[in-house]
Amino acid sequence: MDFFDVVSVQEAKEKLTERFIEYEFGTEEVSILECTNRVLARDIYSSINVPEFNRSTVDGYAIQSKDSHGASESIPSLFNILGEVKMGEIPNHIIESGEALYVPTGGMIPEGADGMVMIEYTEKLDESNLMVYKSISLNENIILKGDDIKDGDIALKKGRRITPEMVGVLAALGISKVEVYKRPKFYIISTGDEIVDLDEDLELGKVRDINSYALHSLITKLGGEVVGKTIVKDEYELLRGETKKAMDVSDIVLISGGSSVGARDYTGKVIDSFNGKGVFVHGISIKPGKPTIIGEGNGKLIFGLPGHPVSSIIVFKSIVEDYVREKMGVVDFIPKTKAIMDFNFPSSSGRETYQMVKLKEVDGKTYATPSFGKSGMITLLSNSHGYIVIKAHEEGVYKGENRDVFLL
């Protein structure tokens, strides 16, 4: 296969989807105590109204709102106090015109009442008589039955990543277990005779394994699970053996390095050596990240990511992460912001360019300035706030343009 017969980012995504259209990560049921950051695999319907009764949002008195109309500090309205409602109790009074019943925040509103006047706007003359100094409107300071969630409504949609706030909704509905997508299992293989792990001596000519640790963090943030991580020297049989081991225990294999046209880059050959579709993408018109491989072996998805850290991370976010989110139907928000370009920047013709930027605020406006550096410099990412995407058909960006900045 000709390495330089590259495809666009969109074409790479389409080939990936077409060849793995039936691939699924599966689902499982977990406790709501263990579901945070998992992705919902089905819609959650409410079987109750939330709240299940009309509730007060303030400490005060339940009244018929029309009885307060015209009330002011100089001309208060007078009410007969019937007593009070305690938390968790059902009121034993029906409010009629001119009557008031004390209700604490969260307490049940008695039948007949259609408004709550805050205690700050009242004064007790004695145990039986109350003066109200403020007019209230219909249903003021009340959450009505089903105002929050109605019986039969979809409370949480499939594809949402579960947050602590959503766990609160599940608890309110009385749901103790939810069906979520299984965590995609990743196996990371870093290749290269020069790569050493963190606990090894760093000799001259060697480099630390950056990619596998950065990828591990990205996978965790995505909601995946790393089931293996290793370093393999530039030897075909070693790489093939480790890849076979990886395919047996994971959904997706990431091989970092070994994706270019060098004589000792065996990734493509290894992928093609297994039963399956083999390599179907070898080169993407993306900057950085052109030497990227996508293939399939023994029914498992294999990515050959560039060895340079920035290239590897950009390809993961634009291709791998995008694929995983699509397969799980993830609908959560990808953090981004609008910024005014503070520079002119030409792009590589025919290639989708991911340009790192720093953000700054001036006079209440957000501006983006470029972060420059080579794709082998990990500080290019750590010193940036995000990146802009310059499409293949664009000549670049111009100072003063408004652009989406995808936050790191």
Res. 1 pLDDT band, cuts 50 70 90? very low
Task: Report the 10 Å Cβ neighbour count for 146.
Answer: 18
Lowest mean pLDDT among 89-98, 113-122, 326-335, 369-378: 369-378
Residue 166: partners with Cβ closer than 8 Å, 6 or more residues away: 156, 160
> And the tokens for 212?
């596998």
213 close to 255: Cβ distance less than 8 angstroms: no
Res. 350 pLDDT band, cuts 50 70 90? confident
- pLDDT for res 332: 79
Q: Mean of the pLDDT values across residues 222-240?
A: 94
Could you tell me the pTM of the whole model? 0.81
- pLDDT for res 2: 46
> And the tokens for 14?
């389409």
Is residue 302 over pLDDT 90?
A: yes
Is residue 131 over pLDDT 70?
A: yes
Is residue 83 over pLDDT 70?
A: yes
Res. 375 pLDDT band, cuts 50 70 90? low
Strands (E), 233-297: 252-256, 278-282, 286-287, 293-297
- pLDDT for res 24: 86
Residue 341: partners with Cβ closer than 8 Å, 6 or more residues away: 367, 368, 388, 397, 398, 399, 400, 401, 402, 403
Parallel, antiparallel, or unpaired for β 402-407 and 336-341? antiparallel
- % of the chain exceeding 70 in pLDDT: 96
Q: Mean of the pLDDT values across residues 63-80?
A: 96
Q: What is the pLDDT of residues 247-291, one digit of tens each?
A: 999 999 999 986 665 645 789 999 999 999 999 999 999 988 888
Lowest mean pLDDT among 68-82, 195-209, 323-337, 380-394: 195-209
Res. 197 pLDDT band, cuts 50 70 90? confident
Res. 201 pLDDT band, cuts 50 70 90? confident
Question: Could you give the domains of the chain?
Answer: 9-25+183-327 (3.40.980.10), 28-50+147-181 (3.90.105.10), 55-143 (2.170.190.11), 336-407 (2.40.340.10)
Is residue 3 over pLDDT 60?
A: no
